[in-house]
Amino acid sequence: MLDLYLTNRLIDLWLAEDIGHGDITSLTMIDADATGAFNMNARQPIAVAGIEVAAACFRRYDPSLTIEVVVKDGDRVPDKTTLLKVKGKARSLLTVERTALNLVQHLSGIATETARWMDAIKGTKAKLIDTRKTTPGLRALQKHAVVCGGGANHRLGLDSGVMIKDNHIAVCGSIAKAVERARAGAPSLVKIEVECDRVEQVKEALAAKADVIMLDNMSLEDMRTAVKLVDGRIPLEASGGVKFDTVRAIAETGVDFISSSKMIQGSPAVDIGLDEA
């Protein structure tokens, strides 16, 4: 669920960026009292994300517009599905059109790609999660889109959990010392995850009582060894170099989570248009 305060702050920035000092085309061509009615339609099969934010773009610019959201975020819909209906002042509709479409095309692209990955690992226990490799300013929305596609979120930010990486371990001296310091200083409900790139490190992280272990760029054989070693005592996350073509094999090793940036960074915008009703 997206916070309305955060969303409206972002919408103000998006509209200001696109409108500038005014929509010259609409202001010079469209009469002030002219009205219109348009439908936002999917032009390919998609997983929907950002439709309420798209509606909020129209409402934010002109509260007098009448908007009907037809689908929900997370819905998988076929080609030619109407997502949203909007009517009212023609100038307002045409001024906001591109901002609303850009947003829902981008987020639904992420959701659609995530859904494709989720279908690829169906039947395994693995859960697909995202990373912090997001577009600055759009993280909350992009991570929301991953959830709409059936995935889940990793850390929302650096304050969401402790992630002990190789450089942290090098500075602290060992995995045991790093976990000990994190445990002493972090809030009580914060989980501590340790990144391991060798099975020997998995043994150290397990002995140090980490909450989660990340298997970083490990081979399938090493992942299977780690799964057997941990034996379900704590969750295991596979990460690093994950591709669509390899995600099924990784899931079949028995890991609990698979993290990848590809659902966000590698997703194309889907085809959605605003057509006259």
Phi and psi at 193, nearest 5°, equal -115, 140
DSSP 236: E
Q: Identify which of 268, 261, 273 has the alpha carbon closest to the alpha carbon of residue 113.
A: 268
- Identify the H or E element spanning 128: strand 127-129
With the C-alpha atoms ordered 155, 133, 101, 58, is the resulting torsion angle positive or negative? Answer: positive
Token pair, residue 84, equals: 């949203």
Q: Are 61 and 92 in contact (CB under 8 A)?
A: yes
The span from the first CA to the last CA of the chain, in angstroms, equals 30
Residues annotated as catalytic (active site), given as ranges: 98, 133, 165, 195, 216
Place of tokens 């005592």: 233
Phi, psi of 189, deg, nearest 5: -95, 0
Alpha helices in the chain (DSSP H): 4-19, 24-29, 51-61, 90-120, 139-148, 166-172, 175-185, 199-207, 220-230, 244-251, 262-265
List the structure tokens of 137.
């300013």
Side by side, which strands form the sheet with 236-239? 127-129, 257-259, 236-239, 212-216, 192-196, 162-164
